[in-house]
Structure 1
Amino acid sequence: MKFRDADCELQNGRQHHKDRDNMGKRVMRRFIKGILFLSICLASLLTLFIWNAEADKSRPMMSPVLEGKTRDCLDCHRFPNVQTNAGAFASQAFCLECHQKDTCVKTIDKEKISLKIDPMEIRKGRHAFVACIQCHTDVARSPHQSKTGAQCLECHPVHNGAGEIHAPHLRVQCQACHGVSEFVYFDKHTDQVRPSHINDKKIPIGLTDHDLQDTTRADFCERCHTPGNKVGAAHTVLPSKSFICIMCHDVSLTMGGPVFWVAFILLILGILFTVLFWFQGSVQGEKKSMHRKIGLVSESIWGTFFSRDFFTILKTILLDVILQRRLLQESVKRWFIHSLIFLPILFRFSMSIFTFFVSRIGPESSLAVILIDKNSGFTAFVNDLCGILILLGIVLAALQRLIIKPPHVVSEAKDNVALLLIGLLVLLGFLAEGVRILMTQVPPEVGIYSFIGYPISRLLSFTHIQWTAIYPYLWWAHAGVGAAFVAYLPFGKMRHMFNTPLTLLLNYKMK
């Protein structure tokens, strides 16, 4: 038995060694096959590379010889310090080796388009000391093609609201206005007005001009704002919003037009007449001297502000002026209706003031862009929400005064005028917003935040009206009603907006 066991163990050992040898051979064969496969792949890639290199010898990207000497690798494969003038000039010289030659062309639809750049256009312009790759940020690569174009916003902030160009133009690419080419189009993929690569005859054109458009020309804006334009711009150039529109809109410190001048003058005259009327009575016992009355009132006002009771006065203004505590104590219904009108207007006014300062202090910040963009989700939603609340308050107030007529409500013509002006102002605003969304082709995923204006734009889309021609009239109608409302403030019952805070302030001082 012992000899048999030993023989079996010997046979098992031989079989184990044989299996191990076979496994090693299989692994070696697989390894050799893998090496052969990789060698074939590398050889194919090398052949393809050599073939492409031979094919491109007729048009090398950069000349291997410069001024009779073989170029160093770092002549091309380096990144100069573009923050210095020398580095900027080095970057420009590198690009101009090709782009100042007549042979620098590309072919589109069998048409040869010149990519030649005149160096003097760069030297005499504002970007003389700016490297090419600081604007064209995605061209220093292979393939040598730009997908984004010049990135002006890398250095320049957006236009801060209704300034010299009357609107921020956030959906207009900078080159569409500031470039020399007059051909522009609306790109639905990027949701922007962009320079066109073809002219009006459908012939491809090169956009290599580095001159900047003269923005002081009288016809500067007519590239887009002309009858029959294809970019959704109004047929005529509209003025910027006047600063008297700050009650609801982001504005600049400009008057905007004659109608706003008239409204502003009437507002100032109304305030002066109101102040003179106040001083017809006695002030702290003084009945005759106007100089003395003005001095006493000024002393009372400044003395109140710079007193220990300053925060108490702020509390009174918050509760009695903003939250209208006294009106709430008299009637919840009246407080509710008045708040629907007053609080949204106050909120829009506060947001306009906040937007004005943010856009001037940090125009490049994302917060400023959100606030000045009428299509941004937050701004569009807040504007429509405030507008519909005001309109609801106007409807309830009209029902209260004209139909229900409770005993405590005395309906006068001047009250109805105020309701009519505010209601008409909001309605025209919603209609103008709907037309703007329609003609500028705001996409649904953006326009949906304007939950009143966007449905109006969808309804208007079923009509066959050229809204780009109608929009200027709607804009002026809205502006005219707004100017009339501002001019009416010191003459009707709306003057309590000035009277109430001042009366509370003076009465508190006299306690």
Structure 2
Amino acid sequence: MTALMLFAAIDKPMVSEMQGAAGARELVCLDCHRRPNVNTNEGVATSRAFCFSCHATPESSTRNLDDRNISLQVEAASFQNSPHRFVACVQCHTDVARSPHRTDMGAQCRDCHTVHGEGTASAPHLRVDCQACHFTHEAVMQDGDTDRIRLAAIDGAGEMPPLTGRVDHALQDTTDPETCRRCHHDQNAVGAPAAVLPAKSLLCVACHPASWSLNHPLFMLAALALLVGLLLMVRFWFVGSVKGEDESLHQKIGLTSEAVWNTLFSRKVLIVLKTLLLDIFLQRRILKESVQRWSMHALIFVAIVVRFLLSVFTGVLFSLNPDGDLALALIDKNHPFTAFFYDLSGLMILLGIAWAAVQRFVVKPPHVLTEIKDNIALGLIGLLVVLGFVAAGARIAMTGIAPEVAVHSFIGYPLSRLMDLLPLDWRIVYPWLWYAHAVVGLAFIASLPYGKLKHVINVPLTYLLEEVDGTDKSKRV
């Protein structure tokens, strides 16, 4: 019975009772310097009631700081329908139970909650305090000292000097798209895009850490085109003979599946791994033919493959340990390693594209045949990288990231400084650049099974079949 009474006191009775008790006598040391067991309902009720003895009314919670009245009032009603209604105040505000009684860190949401990834709110929002999105409080600001987006103070009506600091602890319904409009509008002062952009999808994993979903019609359309193209490629592969079978498609698929499993669970898997590393990733066969040709291919292919592998690794790591330092570094576009790596790999791809273009249109050696499919492939990849760099520069210019942080993006940051000279509102322009980059990227992914780029799939498969089956390479058709 006592437990039930204390549990109910979290919402109503104990607040007023403790207020009366505190107001009737002078506080003694143990009124503050004690900590009930907040892992029990009774302890939570006692701890919260003690905090409300001062923080429930403006009269007992107002402080003066720099000639401004600071209200530290918290309304008990804001916890009525909150998942925090059974959590003690000191479990979130971990550094206030001390002397002097103040906080340097604020509420520590991540003591209980993990950082959300790309798919939850369209981006990790690593520079944004949790309260800026999750509290019903409307005013947000960019803190120049910490370079973070946080709640701004509320000015109390009719107060001279103004009353500031009171925050409603009720939680916002983040499933409502209008919640994002708090920051994402064309007049925002926190460096956010004017439009709410979709999360990067599964198809973006080719170059970026992304969510494992398809959450926008553009991504769905590109995925459908890619899937149809892959099915057509598989259908073409099974037109010929498979292990002596010429007629039955069912038998061909069965024989292929059997061969794959027999390879994976035999010593031949070592041959597969060796071929993947030397002939596909390091492109040993091309190196034997021409160092120049190998260098051009390696700049493009190796950079794309490494970006893809890092994206997959980041996704797996984040799903297993989202609060790990490595996972947070890899999803943070502003982290020194991440910013440098993606600029470096993008530059490698761009140099490879430029080299290939010079070969085809300037040098024109006899063995190089310029076809429209080749030009389209080169154009798509080159345009994709250029738009990526431009979008990165616009993002840095828009968000106002500190130079000592942004400088690690050694291409994006100089571009951002040039963009600052243009009379453009990057909050409005950036979404257009983002969609342009996304559309070109999706066109590149969707076109893989159809144009000249299908050799990215066919050639590695051919190499693997030759090595596993011991096919004479001089008898290629």
TM-score by structure 1 length? 0.83
User: How has the CA–CA distance of structure 1 residues 273 and 101 changed in structure 2, closer, same or farther, with 3 Å as cutoff?
Assistant: same
Q: Which stretches in structure 2 are left out of the alignment for 5+ residues?
A: 1-17, 471-477
2:111 equivalent in structure 1 = 154
1:84 aligns with 2:84: no
Tell me which moved more, 261-270 or 64-73.
Answer: 64-73
Tell me how far apart the structure 2 counterparts of residues 468 and 199 of structure 1 sit (CA, whole Å).
27
1:335 aligns with 2:304: no
Deviations 1:120-145 (A, max 9, x none): 43353111232212211232234333
1:284 aligns with 2:243: yes
Deviations 1:415-437 (A, max 9, x none): 11110000000000000000000
Q: Partner of 2:177: helix, strand, or coil? A: coil
Count of matched residue positions in the alignment of Structure 1 and Structure 2 = 449
User: How has the CA–CA distance of structure 1 residues 203 and 463 changed in structure 2, closer, same or farther, with 3 Å as cutoff?
Assistant: farther
1:170 aligns with 2:143: no
1:499 aligns with 2:455: no
Query: Residues 65 and 71 of structure 1 are in contact (CA less than 8 Å); yes or no, is this contact kept in structure 2?
Result: no
Tell me how far apart the structure 2 counterparts of residues 138 and 71 of structure 1 sit (CA, whole Å).
21
Deviations 1:131-166 (A, max 9, x none): 212211232234333232212122222122x11200
Deviations 1:168-207 (A, max 9, x none): 1011111111111111111110101111114599955433
User: How has the CA–CA distance of structure 1 residues 101 and 323 changed in structure 2, closer, same or farther, with 3 Å as cutoff?
Assistant: same
Deviations 1:388-441 (A, max 9, x none): 010000000111111111111111111111100000000000000000001101
1:275 equivalent in structure 2 = 234
| Superposition deviation, residue 227 in structure 1 | 1.2
Tell me which moved more, 432-441 or 97-106.
Answer: 97-106
2:7 equivalent in structure 1 = none
User: How has the CA–CA distance of structure 1 residues 68 and 334 changed in structure 2, closer, same or farther, with 3 Å as cutoff?
Assistant: closer
Q: Which stretches in structure 1 are left out of the alignment for 5+ residues?
A: 1-61
- Out of 88, 93, 96, the residue aligned to residue 131 of structure 1 is 88
Letter in 2 for 1:453: G
Deviations 1:427-471 (A, max 9, x none): 000000000001101101100100000000011111221111100
Tell me how far apart the structure 1 counterparts of residues 21 and 465 of structure 2 sit (CA, whole Å).
87
Letter in 1 for 2:49: A
Q: CA RMSD in A?
A: 2.3
- Out of 264, 274, 277, the residue aligned to residue 318 of structure 1 is 277
TM-score by structure 2 length? 0.89
Tell me which moved more, 402-411 or 183-192.
Answer: 402-411
2:321 equivalent in structure 1 = 362
Tell me how far apart the structure 2 counterparts of residues 66 and 320 of structure 1 sit (CA, whole Å).
78
Tell me how far apart the structure 2 counterparts of residues 178 and 500 of structure 1 sit (CA, whole Å).
50
Tell me how far apart the structure 1 counterparts of residues 104 and 31 of structure 2 sit (CA, whole Å).
25
Letter in 2 for 1:178: H
Query: Residues 387 and 433 of structure 2 are in contact (CA less than 8 Å); yes or no, is this contact kept in structure 1?
Result: yes
Equivalent pairs: percent with the same residue? 51
1:452 equivalent in structure 2 = 411
2:219 equivalent in structure 1 = 260
Letter in 2 for 1:363: P
1:234 aligns with 2:190: no
Counterpart mapping for 1:188-227 below 5 A:
188-198=144-154, 204-227=163-186
Q: Partner of 1:219: helix, strand, or coil? A: helix
Tell me which moved more, 99-108 or 284-293.
Answer: 99-108
| Superposition deviation, residue 270 in structure 1 | 0.7
1:479 equivalent in structure 2 = 438
Tell me which moved more, 499-508 or 66-75.
Answer: 66-75
Tell me how far apart the structure 2 counterparts of residues 377 and 352 of structure 1 sit (CA, whole Å).
17
- Out of 353, 366, 374, the residue aligned to residue 407 of structure 1 is 366
Tell me how far apart the structure 1 counterparts of residues 24 and 188 of structure 2 sit (CA, whole Å).
54
Query: Residues 300 and 506 of structure 1 are in contact (CA less than 8 Å); yes or no, is this contact kept in structure 2?
Result: no
Q: Partner of 1:171: helix, strand, or coil? A: coil
Letter in 1 for 2:192: A
User: How has the CA–CA distance of structure 1 residues 507 and 395 changed in structure 2, closer, same or farther, with 3 Å as cutoff?
Assistant: same
